[in-house]
């Protein structure tokens, strides 16, 4: 079945006023003559790399349901969405869409989530990991979402609220939870309160042609606005997208395996990151078989980043602390990257949250790094750590091996090339890199 969200109907969830910058952007992109016809599901191709494993086929749909709207930019339209889906089959709780099967959702509209922070504190879906919550849960089998529309997380009120209370639970805009075979493509995501998306407990999912953007319009920064976070998921593809945000462009959280990331332009981010991992004592985190390729990274803190917590407790901030977890990072490849005004071209640490390198060595990480290859990295770094352009620091060589760098040409503003801080790493594998000892903060 194809569920069509009409381009003429400006859907809204739970009676919020529009974020006008996003809404005006949406309107400016509308054609002069609006069609009420369903759009065609995008034909997804994979270049230069195919997914780690073949993806299941998704047969064509033969039934179309239209979602109505109050069309007043005030009244909750979520009931209409659920009514349309009930024509297809069973539904869980409100906007808990985890039981969808063989359905396409064609979003051509502007959809905004309410800024009623009190409501979402009690109604958002708790995903447990790092206190993550989501506005909705999209799951099931063989589900495709597309259409060129816009999802607006109405984030400004959350950015301001977080500045007052760092323990507030800020919902994630797109929750892909327990989805097995599906795609999300050709959509705009705007102003998420926290991460833009979380893909958890899912397999065989493709994200393609996603336009992510959103910044604070007040003096309070939009924090933790990762583009994608994967968690306990495998055979995921993230490709052909543009991301303007203020945190990780993509982050591979615990137990992310067989992940392909290609053809992304990231601006303002914290890089494409493995981790953070090893945060929770007694838990095992694994990230392996990850390929990242053909990336441009501008105005960011990092390009390539691996974040592992040390073996003892450490605190990065009041709402982010941990250490002592076990596991491994294995078979990770980053290739063909261009950077401009990035603080660190490469940042690899097993001392995440611990600024005292000596103390980190005393309590080395219980999570190993093995088999990381970084090749084809060109461009310029920022003044932030000048003349240093990279940081590769392990807590002990016993739990960190096989980090390889080749074909690198990274220049600091003063003209220094390929100067890194290095610790407990085999420097002979860092081809073209000049290492200097790491300094405690």
- What integer pLDDT is reported at residue 440 of this predicted model? 65
Q: With 0-12 CB in 10 A as exposed, 13-18 as middle and 19+ as buried, what is 48? A: exposed
10-residue mean pLDDT profile of the chain (441 residues): values are 39 41 86 79 97 97 80 76 61 66 91 89 91 94 94 95 95 97 98 97 98 95 97 98 97 98 98 96 96 98 96 79 94 98 97 84 94 98 98 94 98 98 96 91 59
Beta carbons within 10 angstroms of residue 32's beta carbon? 4
178: tokens are 């327990």
- What integer pLDDT is reported at residue 102 of this predicted model? 93
Beta carbons within 10 angstroms of residue 437's beta carbon? 8
- What integer pLDDT is reported at residue 260 of this predicted model? 99
Exposure of 173 in the CB half-sphere (CA atoms within 13 A): 28
Q: Are 61 and 73 in contact (CB under 8 A)?
A: no
Q: Domain locations in the chain? A: 82-437
323: tokens are 């250490």
333: tokens are 């490849």
Give the pTM.
Answer: 0.93
Q: With 0-12 CB in 10 A as exposed, 13-18 as middle and 19+ as buried, what is 10? A: buried
Tokens 């593809």 locate to 237
Beta carbons within 10 angstroms of residue 228's beta carbon? 28
* Angstrom distances, CA of residue 192 to CA of 168, 211, 323, 339, 377: 14, 13, 28, 25, 30
* Angstrom distances, CA of residue 437 to CA of 20, 37, 356, 420: 50, 62, 14, 9
- What integer pLDDT is reported at residue 91 of this predicted model? 34
167: tokens are 């323990």
Domain spanning 82-437: CATH 3.40.50.20? no
Count of residues in the chain: 441
* Angstrom distances, CA of residue 377 to CA of 91, 94, 274, 339, 341: 47, 46, 17, 8, 14
335: tokens are 């290739």
Q: Which candidate in 68, 70, 123, 270 is catalytic?
A: 270
- What integer pLDDT is reported at residue 150 of this predicted model? 93
- What integer pLDDT is reported at residue 37 of this predicted model? 82
* 152-184 as b/e: b if 16+ CB within 10 A: bbbbbbbbbbbeeeeebbbbbbbbbbbbbbbbb
Q: Are 249 and 322 in contact (CB under 8 A)?
A: no
Beta carbons within 10 angstroms of residue 286's beta carbon? 17
- R_g (Cα) of the chain, nearest Å: 22
- What integer pLDDT is reported at residue 16 of this predicted model? 37
Active site residue 270: yes
Q: Are 254 and 129 in contact (CB under 8 A)?
A: yes
128 Cβ contact partners less than 8 Å away, ≥ 6 residues apart: none
54: tokens are 């073949």
């Amino acid at each position: 079945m194809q569920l069509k969200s009409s381009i003429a109907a400006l859907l809204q969830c739970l009676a919020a006023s529009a974020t006008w910058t996003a809404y005006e952007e949406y309107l400016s992109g509308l054609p002069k003559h609006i069609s009420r016809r369903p759009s065609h599901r995008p034909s997804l191709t994979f270049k230069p790399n195919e997914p780690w494993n073949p993806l299941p086929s998704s047969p064509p749909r033969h039934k179309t349901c239209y979602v109505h709207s109050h069309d007043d930019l005030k009244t909750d339209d979520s009931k209409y969405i659920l009514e349309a889906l009930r024509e297809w089959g069973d539904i869980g709780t409100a906007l808990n869409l985890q039981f969808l099967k063989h359905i396409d959702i064609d979003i051509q509209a502007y959809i905004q989530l309410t800024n009623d922070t009190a409501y979402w504190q009690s109604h958002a879906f708790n995903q447990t990991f790092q206190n993550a919550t989501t506005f909705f849960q999209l799951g099931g089998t063989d589900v495709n979402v597309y259409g060129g529309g816009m999802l607006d997380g109405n984030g400004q009120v959350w950015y301001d609220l977080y500045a007052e209370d760092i323990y507030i639970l800020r919902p994630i805009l797109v929750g892909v939870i327990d989805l097995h075979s599906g795609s999300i493509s050709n959509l705009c995501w705007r102003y998420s309160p926290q991460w833009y998306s979380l893909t958890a407990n899912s397999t065989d999912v493709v994200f393609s042609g996603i336009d992510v953007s959103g910044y604070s319009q007040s003096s309070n920064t939009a924090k933790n606005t990762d583009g994608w976070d994967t968690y306990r998921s495998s055979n995921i593809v993230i490709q052909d997208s543009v991301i303007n945000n203020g945190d990780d462009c993509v982050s591979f959280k615990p137990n992310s395996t067989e992940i392909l990331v290609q053809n992304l332009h990231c601006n303002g981010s914290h890089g494409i990151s493995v981790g953070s991992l090893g945060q929770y004592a007694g838990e095992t985190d694994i990230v392996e078989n990850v390929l990242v390729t053909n990336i441009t990274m501008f105005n960011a803190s990092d390009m390539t980043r691996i974040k592992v917590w040390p073996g003892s407790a450490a605190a990065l901030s009041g709402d982010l602390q941990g250490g002592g977890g076990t596991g491994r990072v294995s078979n990770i490849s980053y290739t063909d990257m261009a950077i401009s005004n990035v603080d660190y071209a490469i940042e690899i640490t097993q001392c995440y949250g611990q600024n005292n390198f000596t103390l980190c060595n005393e309590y080395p990480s219980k999570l190993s790094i093995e088999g990381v290859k970084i090749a084809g990295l060109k461009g310029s770094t920022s003044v932030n750590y000048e003349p240093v352009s990279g940081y590769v620091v392990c807590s002990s060589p016993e739990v960190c091996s096989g980090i390889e760098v080749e074909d690198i040409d990274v220049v600091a503003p003063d003209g220094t090339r390929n100067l890194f801080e290095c610790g407990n790493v085999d420097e002979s594998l860092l081809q073209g890199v000049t290492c200097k000892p790491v300094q405690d903060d």
